[in-house]
Chains A and B, each alone.
Chain A
Amino acid sequence: MAKIIVITSGKGGVGKTTTSASLAMGLAQKGKRTVVIDFDVGLRNLDLIMGCERRVVYDFVNVINNEANLSQALIRDKRCDLLYVLPASQTRDKDALTKEGVARVLEELSANYDFIICDSPAGIEHGATMAMYFADDAVVVTNPEVSSVRDSDRMLGILSSKSRRAEMNEEPIREFLLLTRYDPSRVQSGEMLSVDDVQEILALKLLGIIPESKAVLTASNSGTPVILDRESDAGQAYSDMVARYLGDEVPHRFLHTEKKGFLSRLFGG
C-alpha cells in the first residue's frame, strides 16, 4: 500500500510544484518506488520542472477516461529508475477529475508504489480538493507572507473536514509545514515573518525551511528538480526535508544569514 502525500497551499505560486518534484526525486533516490502526479489540469507544468515534457503521450485525464492505461501514461524518469511522472492534461479543465476516477487511479498505483505525491493546483476549488481528498499526509507549502499563511490555515481547515479520512472518521491526515522562499536577511531586519511567527499561527510539524534561492530558477530552466543540485542551498534544504520526512533527525539550516567576510561586513553586502 502506497502512502499518498498531497503538496498543497491554497495560495498560488508558493512552490508546490518545485517541492513535489524535489520530494519525489528525493524519495526515489532513497530507494522508494515513487510516482508524482500533476493535478493541475489545464495548467500542467510538473513535466517541465521534471524535464520530461517531450515524452508526454497520454495524461492523467486520459487514464481517468479509460482512453489509455496507466502503463501508457506513466513516464519513467531518466535519472532515477524508481521515479515515475503522471502528467496532467493541457487541454481539459479541472472538472475532468472525478472522485471515482481519481480513486481508481490511486488504487491501481497504490499496489506498485511506496509513495504517491499529488501536486495540487492553487485554490480551494475542485482541482485542489481532488488532490487532497485521498491523502494520508499533507505538506502545506507556505511563504512567510500574510496571504500565504492565511490560505494555508484555510487549507488546514479543508484537510480536516473535507478529506476522505475526515468523512470516514478515520485518523486525520498528518499535516506538515514547509516554509519556502525564506529570506533570513529580511527576517533579521524585521521585514519578513520568521519561522517562529508562522509556527505560532499554524502550529504544525515543521518539515523544512527552503531559502529563497537562485538555484530554483536555474534548475527549472533545465528541467532538473533542484534537489539534484547538491551544491545549492535550496537543494540541500530539500534533501534535509526528505530525510526528515523519512524520520531522520536533521537540524534546520539556512535560518540565519551567512557570516560575511570583513569587507562585505564593512560595506554591507
Chain B
Amino acid sequence: MGLLDYFRATQPIANAGSATVAKERLQILVAHDRAARGCPSYLPQLQTEILAVIRKYIDIDMNAVTVSYEQSDAHEVLELNIILPDGPTSSR
C-alpha cells in the first residue's frame, strides 16, 4: 500500500466491498431467473383451456384455476389447483 493510500484508507471507503453485495444480489437474481426458465411455455394456454372445460360444468371464477410447475433433478411436477365455489355446486 502506498503512503497516500494509507491516509486515504483511514477514511471509510464506500466502494470497497461493493463487489460482495453485487455477488449476493446476483446469486438471488439468477436463482430466480433459472426457476422461471424451466417452466414450459404452454402453461398459460393450458390454464385457459382447463378453465374453459371446467366452466362447462361448474360456475367457477377466472382465478379459480392455478397451474404450477416445478422441476427437480429426478422429476417434474405439474400441479393443478382448482378452487370450487362454496355451497352446493350449481351445475349448469
Chain A residues within CB distance 8 Å of chain B? 145-146, 149-150, 153-154, 157, 161, 187, 189-194, 197, 200-201, 264-269
Contact = CB atoms under 8 A, between A and B. Distances in A.
A153 B2 contact: no
Main secondary structure of the interface of A (DSSP, over half): helix
Given A265-B2, A268-B3, 19 more contacts: A150-B30, A153-B30, A157-B33, A189-B13, A190-B17, A190-B18, A190-B19, A191-B19, A193-B22, A193-B23, A193-B26, A200-B23, A201-B26, A201-B30, A264-B2, A266-B3, A267-B3, A268-B4, A269-B2
Interface string B1-39: 011110010000101111110110111011001100100
Interface residues of B, number: 22
A267 B2 contact: yes
Interface of B: 2-5, 8, 13, 15-20, 22-23, 25-27, 29-30, 33-34, 37
Contacts of B23: 193, 197, 200-201
A264 B5 CA distance: 11
9 contacts: A157-B33, A157-B34, A157-B37, A191-B15, A191-B16, A193-B19, A197-B23, A200-B23, A268-B3
A268 B8 contact: yes
A129 B20 CA distance: 33
A93 to B, nearest CB: 25
Contacts of A153: 30, 33-34
A150 B19 CA distance: 15
A194 B3 contact: no
